[in-house]
Amino acid sequence: MGPTTTLLEPEAKAPGFIVCDGNEAAAWAVALARVEMVAVYPITPQSSLVEYLAKLVADGTLDAEIVDAEGEHSVLSVLQGAALAGARTYTATCGPGLAFMFEPYLRQPGLRLPMVMSIVTRDTLTPQSVWGGHQDAMSVREVGWIQMYCETVQEVLDTVIMGFRVAEDRDVMLPVNVCHDGNYLSFGATRVDLPAQAAVDAFLGTPNINWHAALDPARPMAVDPLTGGAGGPGPRTFVRYRKGHCAGMQNALAVITEAHADWARHTGRQHAPLVERYRMDDAGIAIVTIGSMSGAGKDAVDAARDRGIPVGLVKVKTYRPFPTEAIVGALDGVRAVGVVDRSVSFGWNCGPLYQDVAGALGRAGRQVPSMSFIGGLAGADLTTDHFGGVIERVGQLALDGRSGPTVWINEND
Amino acid sequence: MKRQAYPYFDMANVPDDLCPVAVRPNPMLPGEWRSMKPVVDRAKCVKCAVCWVYCPVQCVVEKPAWFDIDYATCKGCGICAQECPHRAIAMVEEAA
Amino acid sequence: MHEIRIHGRGGQGAVLAGSILATAFVEEGRHVVAVPSFGFERRGAPVASFLRVDDRPIRQMTNIYRPDCILCIDPTVARAVNVFDGIAEGAVLVQTTARPLTELQVPERIACVGLCDAVSLALAIFKRPITNTLMLGAFAKTTGLVSLDSLRTALERSDFRDAGLRQNLDALEAGFERTTVYRIERREAA
């Protein structure tokens, strides 16, 4: 519990709607989710989010312990201690801050400790950049956190709350990254509807954090002892935990879907949980997008349709676990696919989402000409005009009949 | 000690897609966005150098009988005017 | 749909102006998205804020390239950036300046200009050159796109770091009253 503050009545806590940006929306979600401890360190473009958290705590709207740590490594370490003591926890970071907390970031999913962390996605440093991109979140995609990407500011608020439900589900027990685009969603202001506290309470229930591993004198145990090695039970023990983690990730697909459906029952807002199909019913070609770029993508699809081009858009919301079935199903029947990434995978010199999509299609035996488009790096804009060019190129791909080389959208901007 | 200027590194033999380095100084100077600027009254200035010590961007320039301001870098923060013990510096509105 | 671009310098409240304007539009039941773009978070660096307003939902979260309204809340930022970049034919300019219209370089495509000496008024009201709320009043007067009442409600909902609500409401009124609006005759095509 925090210092003595005036606790506001649940109904008074959250006015019906506000005009705010994604950072403030995330902070409101944390308050509504009744998070018990937040630890914070500022980093552009997340800084205002932690300032809003501090204000909500000071006002008594968020009844949480707030720890102003000296760096992100301590931020996440502090929260792990709190989670092992049973607290519902939250933080937000990005870019170099995410890099600084990499050690505890590796530990969290391995301990199957639930929490929600917002990544206000940003291109990683060097070339020196403070602007939006996805490189930071994409760089940590193999650590084993659940990752969901938001398209709108409203979705940021809704997904941070849903994140706790997914993370704390007994069949999941994994930490969740809710990613929202630096600059566009972090500072883009628009009308946001705040759900009633009673609805959020009914949706989330009480925290379910440390029934399986705890720092609790009443339940003495050693958390995360040395495991593995080549001798004795090492190999099979380690594999058992890794497979358990993977099982949790796969279970998350259904849990995420059910959480979104239940959220729609409480609020009337149904966000697509895994992937969203936009005008895919009679689509001859498709583009795949992720994050806030999808809005401009949809506008470009409408414009292309008006010109007679049978294009549709598939937006990925849940990126980890990767919804292979949903992606393959959504792309059923198309003759060419273009995947737009806001980050780079240096293995194939393409986008990371492209790799996952191509892999999923290949494994399903679908031979579809595909290509990767990389754009919007370091705050570069991805406009409807850019998407128009992407759609045209994918149309050409359908005629060529084979996959094409990576295109760097902003190369000449 | 005599000051010597060194030219910036010549990048002619380095590919431009290799590593982000900069060898041309940025022409944007902080003097561009002042709304108020400090004006020194030469008659009152006694060269105590308090303004020179306090200026956060080191834009106070020593002259034989007084201290003047380099308006290319002066941001108009007003600290010099605030600190001058002889009230020799006044902040006046910048003509825009 | 209207696409408004707000230009200013860091620390003057250009970004806050975008957000107050957005709140005012929402008060009037319209859809709005206000997105800022900036480099480093410090006083003095040029900043731009983009605001789209429409009666239908707005999906694209991108910068604005063909604005039909420029709101410039700093008298000198036009020296550092091209505030008129991409403006649509018949666009509106709302500018803070102490100079008369004849001394300003206004491109052909601008059909309507609102001028307000917001820096002097700001120094009088706030003792600092924070022009944002004054210029929102100027915006309302010049464009008629939003009412003073909605802006007042929006101010009441906002948090001010440097000055109180009363002063900002006064600034809004002053900006509205002390803005001169000029309609420019279309010049003949060459």
How do residues C162-181 score in pLDDT, each as one tens digit?
Answer: 568 889 999 999 999 999 99
CB neighbour burial string for C79-94, b if at least 16 within 10 angstroms, e if fewer: ebeebbeebeeebbbb
For chains B and C, count residue pairs whose Cβ atoms are closer than 8 Å.
24
CA distance C112 to C106: 10
**Predicted confidence (pLDDT) per residue in A18-62, tens digit:** 999 999 999 999 999 999 999 999 998 999 999 999 999 999 999
| Cα dist from B80 to A313, A368, B47, C128, whole Å | 59, 69, 13, 17
Read off the pLDDT of each residue in A85-93 and give the average, rounded to a whole number: 97
- With beta carbons under 8 A apart, name residues in chain A contacting B20: 126-128
Q: pLDDT category, C44, cuts 50, 70, 90?
A: low
Q: What pLDDT score was predicted for residue B35?
A: 73
At CA A125, angle to CA A119 and CA A130, rounded to 5?
Answer: 65
Nearest Cα of chain A lies from the Cα of B41 at a distance, in angstroms, of 43
C132-143 and C118-126 helices cross at what angle (nearest 10)? 140
Q: Do C62 and A188 touch (CB under 8 A)?
A: no
At CA A270, angle to CA A265 and CA A274, rounded to 5?
Answer: 120
Instruction: Lowest mean pLDDT of A72-86, A290-304, C156-170, name the range.
Output: C156-170
* Strand, coil or helix: B94: coil
Res. A2: pLDDT tops 60:
no
Q: What pLDDT score was predicted for residue C19?
A: 87
CA distance A41 to A92: 8
Q: What pLDDT score was predicted for residue A363?
A: 96
Are residues A317 and A275 in contact, defined by beta-carbon separation less than 8 angstroms? yes
Beginning with the edge strand found earlier in the chain, give each strand of the sheet holding A370-374 in spatial order: A275-278, A311-316, A285-290, A336-341, A370-374, A407-408
Q: What letter represents residue C2's amino acid?
A: H
Nearest Cα of chain B lies from the Cα of A127 at a distance, in angstroms, of 6
- With beta carbons under 8 A apart, name residues in chain B contacting A128: 20
Any idea how long chain B is? 96
Whole-angstrom Cα Rg for chain A:
21
* Strand, coil or helix: C182: strand
CA distance C84 to C88: 9
Helices (H), A85-174: 95-100, 102-110, 135-139, 153-167
* Strand, coil or helix: A387: helix
- With beta carbons under 8 A apart, name residues in chain A contacting C22: 19, 189-190
- CA dihedral sign of residues A397, A400, A403, A405: negative
Are residues A387 and A296 in contact, defined by beta-carbon separation less than 8 angstroms? yes
Question: Which is more confident, C120 or C14?
Answer: C120
CA distance C177 to C171: 10
SS3 for C134-147 is HHHHHHHHHHCCCC
Measured in whole angstroms, the distance separating CA A77 from the mean position of its chain's CA atoms is: 21
- With beta carbons under 8 A apart, name residues in chain C contacting B30: 44
Res. A373: pLDDT tops 90:
yes
Q: Rounded to two decimals, what is the model's pTM? A: 0.88
Q: CB atoms < 10 A from the CB of B14, how many?
A: 12
Residues 6+ apart with CB under 8 A from A16: A193, A194
**Predicted confidence (pLDDT) per residue in C76-112, tens digit:** 888 878 999 999 999 999 999 999 999 998 999 999 9
CA distance C161 to A108: 38
Q: CB atoms < 10 A from the CB of A336, how many?
A: 25
B72 and chain C in contact, CB less than 8 A = no
Beta-bridged to residue C7, according to DSSP, are C48, C72
CA atoms lying within 13 Å on the CB side of residue A7: 10
Strand (E) or helix (H) holding A56 = helix A47-59
Are residues A155 and A291 in contact, defined by beta-carbon separation less than 8 angstroms? no
Nearest Cα of chain B lies from the Cα of C45 at a distance, in angstroms, of 8
CA distance A9 to A7: 7
CA distance C82 to C70: 11
